Each structure stands twice: as structure tokens, then as C-alpha cells.
A and B are shown apart, each in its own frame.
Chain A
Amino acid sequence: MLDKILFYFFAGVAVASAVLMVTRRNVVHSAIFLITALLATAGIFLQLRAEFLFIVQIILYVGGIMVLFIFVIMLVNLDVALQQIQFARQKWVALLVALALAGQVGLMFWSSRKMPGQGLPVLTAAAAEHLPANSEEVAKSLFGSYLLPFEIASVLLLVAMIGAVVMAKKRT
């Protein structure tokens, strides 16, 4: 029951702030709503007993990425942009198509839930108390089975770093 309440709370917050993020005129507001949505997602992670990710989400996403966003928003002068129309002309069509997409995928989820033999594994998740300590498990996996992705991720981040530097630095 608690699970349920928690889930619906976080889900509601996430969706609402996501909607607000997309619709706000002011970019800074959007950023803040994105932060809210990400935090709510972190809550979902917690509810799913993924504590490590919960922390990562808050620190890396909210703490890191979003600060980056805010910096950039500050850097590029947005006073002008504020007065401009924020939405593309196609917004209504886009909405329709996006809803169609949502409908399709949603229907697929729905039908797989209802019909046997239609996909999603119907099984009860392992009891919470049987789950091993999350951080430990993740760490084991990360440096065990997923060592290579970890190494690649370092290259990826290196590339991102070089890229950001190359792109953002002023020309000498």
C-alpha cells in the first residue's frame, strides 16, 4: 500500500513537472521543473529499491547535469528568447502524433498485460527482503560483468569533455 502511495506520488510529480518543463516559456523554469521530474524519478528508483541509482540520479543528474544546463542558460542571453514564440507551429500535429505514439505503445503494453502469451513476464518480483544490498551488487556487476562498459564510458566521458572544451572555448 505504501508502495502504491509512494509510486503514485512520485509518478504524479514526475509527469506533472515534465509537462510543465515542456510547456514553460522561461527556460530557467523549465530547468527547474526538469530537476523536479528527475528528483521524482529518483524517488521511483528508491521505491524500486535501487538505492545506488537513487543517489547517482540526485548527485549526477540533478547536481551535475542540471547545473550545467543552468550555466548555459545563464551564458546565452535569453532575454530575447523569452519574448519569442516558444512552440513550433506544428505543435498540435505533434501533439496528435505523439498521442498516437503513446496510444500505440500503451495499447501494446495493455494488450500484453491482458493476453497470455503476449510478452511481458508475468511473475512476482523477488521479495524486497531477499534483495541483496544494492550498492554492493551494482558495484560487483559494474566491476565484474560490466567492466568493459565502464571502460568505454570513460572514453565516452573523455570525448564529451574534449568536445565540450573544443566547442565552448573561445578562439584564440
Chain B
Amino acid sequence: MLPIGHYLFLSLALFIIGVLGVVTRRNVIVVLMSIELILNAVNINLVAFSRLYGDVAGQVFALFIIADAAAEAAVGLGIIIAFFRNRETVLADEMDLLKW
């Protein structure tokens, strides 16, 4: 395998892009997608380390993270739908009922 740093930097790049998506995009669906991207970055880390140690724990962890991502996506999308039904928008900054 390549030196571990390669994978770490790749994962970091995806993580950062995901974070950027979360903080910059107004569309909540894209935000949710960005979160998926972050979790994906985590998986790259885990799998790379798993390979490094020759230990499958990391892969198992990654597996669970995929499951979690799925669950989060399902719930998140469900909530988006409920929100959209009430508010006819998916823009994050139009969530403005709850504030100071």
C-alpha cells in the first residue's frame, strides 16, 4: 500500500469539502449530502488504518458508519419532507421561526 499519509490527506480533503458544503450550501438536501461526504471521508481513514494494521476492526467500523449514514439519511430526508410539506422550502436560511 501507499504510505498512510496519502489516504489521510485524501480523507482530509473530502472532509473539508464536506464541511464546506455544510457551512456554505443553503439547500438542506445538499447539506445532508455533504454530511454523507464527511462520513465517507471517515471511512477512508478507517479502512486505510485497517489495512495498515492488518486488522479488520477498521473495516467493521466503516461498515457501521455506512449503516449510520444510511439511517441518518433516511431520517434526515424524512424530516426534510415533513418540513417541506409545511414550509414549501428546502433552504436552510428560511428556517427562521426559532430564534432569539
Q: Which residue numbers of A lie inside 8 Å of B, CB to CB?
A: 3-4, 7, 11, 14-15, 18-19, 21-22, 27, 30-31, 34, 37-38, 41, 44-45, 47-50, 52-53, 56-57, 60-61, 64-65, 68-69, 72-73, 75-76, 78, 80-81, 84-88, 90-91, 94-95, 97-99, 101-102, 105-106, 109-110, 113, 120-121, 123, 125-126, 128, 130-131, 134, 137-138, 140-142, 145-146, 149, 153, 156-157, 159-161, 163-168
Contacts of B20 in A (CB 8 A): 22, 94-95, 98
Using a Cβ–Cβ cut-off of 8 Å, how many residues does chain B contribute to the interface with A?
70
Q: Which residue in B37, B59, B64, B81 is a CB contact (below 8 Å) of A168?
A: B81
Q: Which residue in A126, A145, A157 is a CB contact (below 8 Å) of B67?
A: A157
Are B14's CB and A18's CB within 8 A?
Answer: yes
**Contact indicator per residue, chain B 24-36, by CB within 8 Å of chain A (1) or not (0):** 1111011011101
- A interface, by DSSP: helix, strand, loop or mixed? helix
Are B33's CB and A30's CB within 8 A?
Answer: yes
Are B9's CB and A76's CB within 8 A?
Answer: no
In the complex, which residue of chain A has the Cβ closest to the Cβ of B69?
Answer: A65
Q: Which residue in A21, A99, A120, A131 is a CB contact (below 8 Å) of B33?
A: A21
Q: Which residue in A41, A52, A75 is a CB contact (below 8 Å) of B59?
A: A52
- B interface, by DSSP: helix, strand, loop or mixed? helix
Are A38's CB and B71's CB within 8 A?
Answer: no
CA distance A33 to B71 in the complex (A): 21
Are A30's CB and B93's CB within 8 A?
Answer: no
Min CB distance, B17 to chain A, in Å?
4
Q: Which residue in A53, A78, A134 is a CB contact (below 8 Å) of B90?
A: A78
**Contact indicator per residue, chain B 44-69, by CB within 8 Å of chain A (1) or not (0):** 10011011111011011011101111
Contacts of A44 in B (CB 8 A): 7, 10, 44, 47
